[in-house]
Structure 1
Amino acid sequence: MAAVRKLHKCAVSPTGKHSASLIFLHGSGDTGRGLRAWVRDVTVPDLSFSHIRVIYPTAPARPYTPMRGAPSTVWFDRYKISRDCPEHTESIDDMCNTLGSIIQDEVNAGIPKHRIVIGGFSMGGAMALHLVCRYHPDVAGVFALSSFLNKDSVAFQAVEERLRAELSLPDMFQCHGTKDDLVLHQWGEDTSVMLREAGMPTTFHSFPGLNHQLSEPEMELLRSWILKKIPPIPSS
């Protein structure tokens, strides 16, 4: 078996004892450092915590079909940007395997999986949903900002299978701006509805006037949700 490649990443250490972890995935064409800088610019106070390590990985550059095969830092390939076409499952599964090594690193550092939250912006949110719904449903939660899944996503099937098997599913937190490109807000809302109908607990927030971007109100809501999923451990 080929060795799992290591991703470049930057991280924000907790100000106190490390007892939980957050993995935050960037959108297509960005980097972990780029997302980290953006979060710091729009979030007051910064998205940092006393007990949570925040990890921003960078996707490896790969040929990206919507850019006519030009290389880009994307988590997976797409045949086209549409919710109606098949998913590029080979590249998605390959990246799920790679990102799984980051989860394992946190577990090896003493963080149980039920104290890990995974999410992302745009393509990063879709990647997080695949990673959690299909491979790591025992984490504390998953979030998707300005993100959507394809209509026939295998992630929906995975959620339905866990529901039929009477297995638990983590909560999903989703946000989307109403002024996102054309139909993307509707695609995002449809994703939330389909995950909920498949059996996953979901929360969807619309932000009037927001384009395909992060915003301070959105990040404030996200911070509150994260702290509910992985609160500080009371000192004994």
Structure 2
Amino acid sequence: MCGNNMSVPLLAEAVTVSGTERETAVVIFLHGLGDNGHGWADSMSSIRLPYVKYICPHAPRIPVTLNMRMMMPSWFDLMGLSPESPEDEAGIKKAADNIKAIIEHEVKNGIPANRIVLGGFSQGGALSLYTALTSQHKLAGVVALSCWLPLHKSFPQACSSSASQSVAVLQCHGEMDPMIPVQIGAMTSEKLKSFLNPQRLSFKTYPGMMHSSCPEEMAAVKEFIERQLPRV
């Protein structure tokens, strides 16, 4: 890790899967509540492209209201999982700023923003959507797995215009998800279609899949990353 990572707190600790040849693109992938970056770094390794660097940061440990204020890795506080639950607006914005700092760091190190895909699972997917849509940079795409759009009522106003016109989004959801029902994924997809280019959006559901991932989903993720980050 280079010394200048220290100004980007999440980067110093992040799990990084380096490319096996010259890195011309980056995927930043955010884990779900109570998890860490290691599992998703393994998943990314299984679908890796040789010219892509994968960065899987760990969320800070904070008390989570939904889980009786227990301390656990969480990108922001969660009060509930229904679309009408109150939301931790300050925490979501702060978390997005921390992810934007990683994006800035990669851009300064020579990877253009349009060669960066941001993704995540569950709470991490929610944060990746919010971050990409409010970023000043036009990213290559967003991978949003089993998740929702935080602060959904603030969109499209919260969008930075360049991102909102053209970002490609792959949304995937398990049809048997007991934690974040597939209906929430579908509502999120409809919301995104109302202000993004529908041609650039894809919503895939997987029969029998719960709040997890499956090989078919990972194949779709790999295909999306390959399409948005072709070899240069």
TM-score (norm 2): 0.88
Tell me which residue corresponds to 2:112: 112
Q: How big is the alpha-carbon RMSD for the aligned residues of Structure 1 and Structure 2?
A: 2.2
Tell me which residue corresponds to 1:180: 177
Q: 2:37 aligns with which of 32, 36, 43?
A: 32
Tell me which residue corresponds to 1:205: 204
Matched, 1:222 2:183: no
Tell me which residue corresponds to 1:22: 27
The unaligned stretches of length 5 or more in structure 2 are 1-5
Matched residue type, 1:13? S
Structure 1 residues 143-182: aligned runs within 5 Å: 143-150=143-150, 152-159=152-159, 162=161, 168-181=165-178
Q: CA deviation at 1:156?
A: 4.1
Matched, 1:12 2:17: yes
Which is further off, 17-26 or 136-145? Answer: 136-145
Matched, 1:189 2:186: yes
Distance, in Å, in 2 between the alignment partners of 1:225 and 1:97 is 25
Distance, in Å, in 2 between the alignment partners of 1:82 and 1:162 is 28
Tell me which residue corresponds to 2:97: 97
SS class of match (1:129): helix
Q: CA deviation at 1:86?
A: 3.3
- For the Cα contact (< 8 Å) 2:41–2:54, is it kept in 1? no
Distance, in Å, in 2 between the alignment partners of 1:27 and 1:167 is 24
Q: 1:157 to 1:170 in 2, by over 3 A?
A: same
Which aligned runs of 4 or more in structure 1 are off by greater than 3 angstroms?
150-153
Distance, in Å, in 2 between the alignment partners of 1:183 and 1:57 is 22
- For the Cα contact (< 8 Å) 1:146–1:176, is it kept in 2? yes
SS class of match (2:66): helix
Q: CA deviation at 1:155?
A: 4.4
The unaligned stretches of length 5 or more in structure 1 are none
SS class of match (2:187): helix
Aligned length: 223
Distance, in Å, in 2 between the alignment partners of 1:191 and 1:227 is 24
Q: CA deviation at 1:184?
A: 1.4
